[in-house]
Structure 1
Amino acid sequence: MDVLHAAASGDTVWLGLILRRSTTLPQRNREQGLRVLHVAALHGHVSFMETLLEGGIMEVDVRCPQGRTPLHLALTPKSAPWTQAAMSCLLKHEAQVNAATEDGLTPLHQAAAEGLLECVQALIEAGADPRLRDSNGHRPLELATIWCHRQVARFLKDAMWKKDKMAEGTQRRKLQRLKEGLQFWQHRHEFQEKSVRQDVSMERVKAWAKKKGMPLQWGPERGCFLLCHGQHTSTETKEREAPPKAPREAWNISPNPRKAPKASISRAQEVRISTRPQTEPPAPDLRRGVTLTQEPDGGPCYKACWETKPRPAPALPLNVLKRELFSADYPSRLGSPLDFQSRSVLDLPHLCRPPQPGASPWTDIAMHLVEELPPGHH
């Protein structure tokens, strides 16, 4: 009796003797290419699997010629009723949950096709991807639907939705950081262009003054003057001669420094320009320097005027990118003041009778509808 037959038959005595005598026998393949760990996982012999894995005799992700791992074979009807125990043993030793066979089948495909709800839940918690497809283009959800495993299909659909929302949230955070970076670089680019225009204008004025033989100087009636010999302007001289002002406390925003404002100083104070609700300042407009395009392969990218090559944008729909980056083109229909703070419905005062202890809130809603709606309409 060799190791394969000992593992299949569950003979612990023969398996122990063979493993002590030779370490090369566990590597022998059968006609189907299965090894010892495959057979032990196929028949659900957890103790044999622990012996092979803890002793370092075999790797946990050893593959057969078809690309199947022991985790694939543990999720079969032959391993019942020790299917979950065998799977837990393999996951404890860090088995790959997304390992695919030559047909593209993952352990999650196998568990979904067999309708093993608890195993599917454990694989999802271990990091299995429910969006992977096999060679036929089927995801685990499609296999569970084909074999009429409703509970597994519902769980997989919910898991896919959560995965998609987490991925979308990650991409939206990347988009927010990208937007802040683009606003900063656009402001810097505009400032540099303005400086260049001012330098060009100054050079033209200097050339014109030199051609006319006039000194580069403006009179005091123009508000300030500039001497061509490196002298300071009159505005700078006045600022230097002015006495320094007394420092004002950070919380005291009153026009009269000697009198504190009649308000609470426990929170930050602000100057109200008018009695109307305050609104947020307009966001920088990125339409002047950033353009969005769609690559031939379907991925979005953006091109900034201060860069030479386009860069890939976060993996989001093009309309979402436009709405976030070019918010001026999509004004909000509901404008809220800057100091608006939303409140929960549960904090609002109730106009009906107080709820009874232990009563369900849905009972109060039903009674309220009976009182408000006319008879025969509820």
Structure 2
Amino acid sequence: MEGHNDENVENHSTTLTNKQRGNELTVRPATLDNLSIHQLAAQGEISQMEIHLSKDCSLLNSLDERGCTPLMWAAAFGEILMVERLLEKGADPRTLARERESALSLACAGGFVEIVNILLEHGVDIDSYDWNGGTPLLYAVRGNHLKCVEALLRSGADITFEADSGYSPVALAVALGHKKVQRHLEDHILKMFRGNGS
């Protein structure tokens, strides 16, 4: 996590340095008018998204070059109001991108538990796996997102599913040193065994 923060600091300081040097004057800033519906979804620009959809409703479930929908972008960036609006308008939460990523797995990877809960209420496949062998639960564990792990387990996520690397959710939590997540997964397994024994 520390490395990630350092990277953000470096990127931020580079941006400031470029601005100070005037290097960005040659680059025209993107205006909301020329952003794609996917970019608008990622930025939570609901009113602009509505304008796009009023002109062309097929954009609602349109795929970008990676096969991602506007809903996936909104889920990945934690834009809860955008997620709710897109679903109200009929966005399909079950769509899988080219590498089988789902809105649920993207929300879990980002630790956005409110979005995870909304998507679960819309009947998405809780155990969908992508071409990396990742499931929403594995992404939540990898990101150390305890609340997402709890929400997935409450909704019946498969705790035995292993990634292509051979890691189960518990083994992944152990390997990454995510103690609270590990404890919660182990408690869940114990409850399952007690439930089956009675």
Deviation at 1:149, TM superposition (A): 0.5
Which of 94, 98, 123 is the aligned partner of 1:94? 123
Corresponding residue of 1:71: 104
Alignment of 1:204-353 (within 5 A): none
Deviation at 1:168, TM superposition (A): 4.7
Alignment of 1:47-62 (within 5 A): 47-56=81-90, 58-62=91-95
Unaligned 5+ runs, structure 2: 1-34
CA distance in 2, matches of 1:66, 1:109: 16
CA distance in 2, matches of 1:147, 1:32: 29
Which of 137, 141, 166 is the aligned partner of 2:166? 137
| Partners of 1:131 and 1:160 within 8 A in 2 | no
Alignment of 1:105-120 (within 5 A): 105-120=134-149
CA distance in 2, matches of 1:5, 1:44: 13
Unaligned 5+ runs, structure 1: 170-378
CA distance in 1, matches of 2:123, 2:75: 15
Which of 36, 43, 51 is the aligned partner of 1:17? 51
Structure with the bigger percentage of helix: 2
- Provide, for residues 47-81 of structure 1, a one-character-per-residue CA deviation record: whole Å limited to 9, x for no partner: 1111221222x21111001111101111234xx6x
Aligned-partner residue type, residue 102 of structure 1: W
Aligned-partner residue type, residue 145 of structure 2: L
- Provide, for residues 207-238 of structure 1, a one-character-per-residue CA deviation record: whole Å limited to 9, x for no partner: xxxxxxxxxxxxxxxxxxxxxxxxxxxxxxxx
TM normalised by structure 1 equals 0.41
1:4 and 2:33 are equivalent in the alignment = no
1:44 and 2:42 are equivalent in the alignment = no
- Provide, for residues 103-133 of structure 1, a one-character-per-residue CA deviation record: whole Å limited to 9, x for no partner: 3321111111111111111111111121111
More relative contact order in 1 or in 2 (CA 8 Å, sep 6+)? 2
CA distance in 1, matches of 2:61, 2:186: 40
- Provide, for residues 75-112 of structure 1, a one-character-per-residue CA deviation record: whole Å limited to 9, x for no partner: 234xx6xx111112112212221111123321111111
1:152 and 2:188 are equivalent in the alignment = no
**Distance 1:75-1:104 versus aligned 2 partners, 3 A rule:** same
Corresponding residue of 1:124: 153
Deviation at 1:156, TM superposition (A): 0.4
CA distance in 2, matches of 1:73, 1:65: 14
**Distance 1:6-1:118 versus aligned 2 partners, 3 A rule:** same
1:166 and 2:166 are equivalent in the alignment = no
Corresponding residue of 1:210: none
The percentage of counterpart residues that share the same residue type is: 27
- Provide, for residues 236-277 of structure 1, a one-character-per-residue CA deviation record: whole Å limited to 9, x for no partner: xxxxxxxxxxxxxxxxxxxxxxxxxxxxxxxxxxxxxxxxxx
- Provide, for residues 122-175 of structure 1, a one-character-per-residue CA deviation record: whole Å limited to 9, x for no partner: 111111121111222211111111111101001101212222343455xxxxxx
SS in 2 for 1:97: coil
Aligned-partner residue type, residue 70 of structure 1: A
CA distance in 2, matches of 1:139, 1:168: 23
| Partners of 2:44 and 2:81 within 8 A in 1 | no
Corresponding residue of 2:4: none
CA distance in 2, matches of 1:129, 1:9: 32
SS in 1 for 2:57: coil
CA distance in 2, matches of 1:160, 1:19: 45
Structure showing greater radius of gyration is: 1
1:33 and 2:67 are equivalent in the alignment = yes
CA distance in 2, matches of 1:8, 1:122: 23
| Partners of 1:67 and 1:101 within 8 A in 2 | yes
Q: Root-mean-square deviation (CA), in Å? A: 1.6
CA distance in 1, matches of 2:194, 2:165: 26
| Partners of 1:71 and 1:107 within 8 A in 2 | yes
CA distance in 1, matches of 2:89, 2:100: 24
- Provide, for residues 6-41 of structure 1, a one-character-per-residue CA deviation record: whole Å limited to 9, x for no partner: 112222221111122211123332222211111010
TM normalised by structure 2 equals 0.76
